[in-house]
Structure 1
């Protein structure tokens, strides 16, 4: 009798444990509508913490562990294969760095939730890898059922991430598998902006020219308004005047000091052991009518309206500023 009782308890414990998980459902598509095809999709799971998060679900706030249905490799491959024609000589390789969910404060109606997201994607040619795209950020949600909302949007965010990579040309400097363990550090060690103490004066049209320290050629002079704000750069050569409008600039360097173009004008770029950054808030760098989710990915897309809406307006009006780093691999803002 005692043995039967123990067996029943064990079965109940196993059943209870199996019910305490919430699997990610990979719905939607990540189809590539172009002539370029890939022969496969691989995932390298480099997460130090493989747990996605134990968060509350339903009216009873039952704590469940969010999990992949099987493994990241199997699930992403099946999702990719379902919507894409396979072919060609190259593969797409997704490196998963972080995926963590957590919940926070509640006002009695809605609860805050956060998704800590970090991933990179490469094009694999033979045994070499070429960088396409990366994103390190924290997405903020607010909803009555915030846990359900976050899990539902995991495939949405990965879909936007992968589709963004579709639009980009790979960096031609191919690396080996060993370099992928810390690709960002590898790239930094090869950028002139990190190697040199002094930045070159001049106008930079994109992030790669800034980090490679290759300003626009020619003797451009910065023209400023009565407030001392740069409005354009002008070059006069052989009687011909050429100008660069500020909206075309990524940044400029004057007397060794760098300034980044933002929605609020140019903000000084600082540097420390972690990289290059500006002192700002999200309201300084994003248009108010756009969700920060879109800005973080550098595109406008369809993502659940609750993402970032919880804190967007507060951030836009908040005078508190902090260090916001410029990602040396993408030129985007790093909110990780």
Structure 2
């Protein structure tokens, strides 16, 4: 059985060329007497550029990627021992989240998190000290020599202060909220199609069709991809105050 988790095609037309993008996230499973076992997963993006229409080449690339993924793994034995029921696979996101500590607690551990993994495991990489108040972004952490070192938001993944989680980007720290078993935040992101080379596949496909090419930066409602911690753009937020904290 092949499970298609995300399948996206997109084209962006520039002044002198067209860029086509194909994104696939899927899993291949072997049927066993008591359920299904994972053989292989794929999470990939392809880009095609041309001075003419890229549609045909883009569709062919997508077809080749899907058929190649299936064909190259059909004769392989399952790579994992875990067995899933058909119902498990229908709600695979929820099943995966049950193994991630941050999705199964309402009490977040104060500290600095350099990576999504450490945030997911709720094991801080360093303590934080707020010298004034959080709105001034004056969080500091002990450096190698024991002196306090200011924390820059573009160098970390997240922080938890007084039990509240904040996601960190190169622009700022943003309040992280959990709704229906997913984490969301509202914050600024680079968002033009010309910036696609600097952002992830999930980020790019989340903004296509919502932006004018002249909009270099925009504020979005974003969701955390539970598999890798990437930011998935959900929708653009016009309100310039969106995502700011209420400290009262």
Match of 1:188 in 2: 97
Match of 2:136 in 1: 228
Tell me which protein shows more helix as a share of its residues. Answer: 1
Maintained 8 Å contact 1:222/1:234 = no
Counterparts of 1:253 and 1:191 in 2: how far apart (Å)? 17
Counterparts of 2:128 and 2:18 in 1: how far apart (Å)? 52
Is 1:175 the counterpart of 2:97? The answer is no
Match of 2:225 in 1: 327
Gaps of 5+ in 1: 1-43, 47-95, 163-172, 299-307
Counterpart mapping for 1:293-304 below 5 A: 294-296=199-201
Query: Aligned with 2:174: secondary structure?
Result: strand
Counterpart mapping for 1:35-184 below 5 A: 44-46=1-3, 96-99=4-7, 101=9, 117-120=23-26, 129=38, 134=43, 145-154=53-62, 175-178=82-85, 179-184=88-93
Q: 1:206 to 1:234 in 2, by over 3 A?
A: same
Counterparts of 2:134 and 2:212 in 1: how far apart (Å)? 33
Residue 131 of structure 1: CA displacement? 8.4
Match of 1:92 in 2: none
Match of residue 214, structure 1, among 123, 138, 154:
123
Number of matched residues?
A: 210
Greater RCO, 1 or 2 (C-alpha within 8 Å, sep 6+): 1
Counterparts of 2:99 and 2:93 in 1: how far apart (Å)? 10
Q: 1:242 to 1:120 in 2, by over 3 A?
A: farther
Gaps of 5+ in 2: 31-35, 70-79, 235-248
TM-score (norm 2): 0.58
Maintained 8 Å contact 2:19/2:54 = yes
Match of 1:270 in 2: 177
Counterpart mapping for 1:28-39 below 5 A: none
Query: Aligned with 2:124: secondary structure?
Result: coil
TM-score (norm 1): 0.45
Q: 1:122 to 1:326 in 2, by over 3 A?
A: farther
